[in-house]
Amino acid sequence: MEAKRFAGKVAIVTASTQGIGFGIAERLGLEGAAVVISSRKQKNVDEAVEKLRAKGIEALGLVCHVSNKEQRKNLIERTVQKYGKIDVLVSNAAANPTANGILETSESVLDKLWDINVKVGILILQEAAPHLSKGSSVVLISSIAGYHPHASMAMYGVTKTALLGLTKGLAAELAPDTRVNCVAPGFVPTHFAESLTRDEGIKKELESKTLLNRLGTTQDMAAAVAFLASDDASYMTGETLVVAGGMPSRL
């Protein structure tokens, strides 16, 4: 990676020991950032940190279940204690515990979807905001499902729609010192999307919905996040970048 757009920068990426989150952390680290990664299990954190350090990336790994207030607070405090600031915050944590329709979804599942996919991103940013450097960047991870909620993941899609509005609201609130943007990934064959992409028939159907006739990769998503978080996007805030191979989203 020749570009070093994040040299001297500190980046936190939530839910980042595998999949899209890990890809983002790796990309930011390869471009010079000190990266702080987290997930619910210590074993996963340790393994991810080892992989990053093997590539010469400065990495700190912490256990953080994003719904746990003390662990969220610890994530921010430990980052600031070690590095003194936060330049990039990527809110990537998400849950999709149901394949039911919206009207069939229980209240407890509705609460979990809202809490993990929307509310905790706000709560982490409340903790982090006092430590964001001037010129810092926040990136929220939404989904193509936020534009067209799929029948089997409709309520998940609705929570991702909420992130599009949250991006606008936070961008206005944190301007001019911090930019806030959003990435809406298409379908990426990660563990999180395994229920869809492991079925060859469904996978082919999803590929056919793209103009590029392929699913996305974690590197595709990481590249988009790195762009938005970097000074290359210094005149962009409140925007959502759809990275979905041409799947329908908006005019």
Estimate the crossing angle of helix 218-229 against helix 19-30, to 10 degrees: 50
Provide the 10 A C-beta neighbour count for residue 204.
Answer: 10
Sort strands 132-141 and 178-185 into parallel, antiparallel or unpaired.
parallel
| 3-state SS assignment for residue 59 | strand
Q: For the sheet with 86-91, list strands across it.
A: 59-63, 34-39, 10-13, 86-91, 132-141, 178-185, 240-243
- List b or e across 134-157, with b for residues whose CB sees 16 or more CB atoms inside 10 angstroms: eebbbbbbbbbbbbebeebbbbbb
204: tokens are 């082919």
Distance separating alpha carbons of residues 114 and 104, to the nearest angstrom = 16
Which residue among 83, 147, 156, 235 is the active-site one?
Answer: 156
Residue 162 vs residues 104, 110, 119, 155, 213: alpha-carbon distances, Å: 20, 14, 10, 11, 28
In angstroms, the CA 165 to CA 184 distance is 13
Q: How far apart are the first and last CA of the chain?
A: 34
Q: Please say if 235 is a catalytic residue.
A: no
Residue 223, Cβ neighbours under 10 Å: how many?
16
Mind telling me the catalytic residues?
156
